[in-house]
Structure 1
Amino acid sequence: MPIATVGESASHDVQVTTETIDAFAALSGDENPIHLDESYAAETMFGGRVAHGMIAAAAVSAALASLPGDIVYLQQDLTFEDPVRPGEMVRAAVEVIEELESDRLRVRTEAFVDAREERVLDGEAIVLSLPHDDG
């Protein structure tokens, strides 16, 4: 399988549910009540429960894995721009924008909530792109 090249893109969708948020909290140990307690979260600036930002970032990781070849995450710069709420679908989109070295690429990374058509995450990643060995 060939390696990823400039201009190639991929995406990945994640349906965020209360179960997703609960499972992520258990896995990560991040039990902030803004993510887990609706009553508490309702009194915050968010006005209700929101997903961990890293759930949207994990969707970016899955989108990167959909690019050709074997992709190894080396670096990520990201900004969380808007919260994701239970029941929303997150679409992560990645696009290779620059070849840095023969095996390293700069990739634009974004995530959107489909229903609101709002970007919730913005950034760039550096990845190692290697040919896939089917052998």
Structure 2
Amino acid sequence: MSFLISEDIYNGFISLFKDKNPLHTDEQFANSRGFAGRVMHGNILNGFISYFIGECLPTKNVIIHTQEIQFKNPVYLHDKIFFDASVSDVIESVNAIQFKYFFRNNTGKIVAKGKIQIGMFS
């Protein structure tokens, strides 16, 4: 799957969660810290994970048990990022599935990776 970090997503995140840290909102501040521009909030990526689990699996009978994310490289406004997930384990005794996933940018660089475990309702 791919996602575009649009102005709407960026502004919506700030509007909802009030995180106005200058690394995310001030171009000069971010540049002075060695970044190419305002760094997008890492938790925007969590929203894309939620979309994957809640909307893209073949069933809606799921709940996230655990989620891990490691941020590897910054994401910037207007970046197109690609999400790839694969099943890494099935735990039949508790009706759970684990996924490994990563996000990469349009140059192929990994920007985040992690694991998700979901439970399946009967």
Fold conserved between structures, TM > 0.5: yes
Q: Determine the C-alpha separation between the residues in 2 that align with 1:60 and 1:109.
A: 9
Taking structure 1 as reference, are residues 93 and 64 closer, same or farther at Cα in structure 2, changes over 3 Å only?
farther
The residue aligned with 2:87 is 96
Residue 14 of structure 1 and its aligned partner are, at CA, apart by: 1.8
Confirm or deny: 8 A CA contact 1:108 1:124 kept in the other structure.
yes
The residue aligned with 1:8 is none
| TM-score normalised over the length of structure 1 | 0.78
The residue aligned with 1:29 is 18
Confirm or deny: 8 A CA contact 2:94 2:119 kept in the other structure.
no
Deviations 1:17-40 (A, max 9, x none): 234222212212211111111122
The residue aligned with 1:15 is 4
Q: Determine the C-alpha separation between the residues in 1 that align with 2:84 and 2:25.
A: 27
| TM-score normalised over the length of structure 2 | 0.86
Q: Determine the C-alpha separation between the residues in 2 that align with 1:38 and 1:125.
A: 33
Confirm or deny: 8 A CA contact 2:90 2:97 kept in the other structure.
yes
- The one-letter code sitting in structure 2 at the alignment partner of 1:73 is I
- The one-letter code sitting in structure 1 at the alignment partner of 2:27 is E
- Is 2:117 the counterpart of 1:117? no
Q: Determine the C-alpha separation between the residues in 2 that align with 1:13 and 1:47.
A: 22
Gaps of 5+ in 1: 1-11
Residue 118 of structure 1 and its aligned partner are, at CA, apart by: 1.1
Confirm or deny: 8 A CA contact 1:56 1:92 kept in the other structure.
no
The structure in which a higher percent of residues are helix is 2
Q: Determine the C-alpha separation between the residues in 1 that align with 2:84 and 2:53.
A: 8
Residue 102 of structure 1 and its aligned partner are, at CA, apart by: 4.5
- The one-letter code sitting in structure 1 at the alignment partner of 2:58 is P
Gaps of 5+ in 2: none
Q: Determine the C-alpha separation between the residues in 2 that align with 1:40 and 1:19.
A: 22
Alignment RMSD, CA only? 1.7
Residue 98 of structure 1 and its aligned partner are, at CA, apart by: 0.9
The residue aligned with 1:6 is none
- Percent identity between matched residues is 22
What stretches of structure 1 move > 6 A for 4+ residues in a row? none
- Is 2:97 the counterpart of 1:105? yes
Taking the TM superposition and a 5 Å limit, the aligned residue runs for 1:76-87 are 76-87=67-78
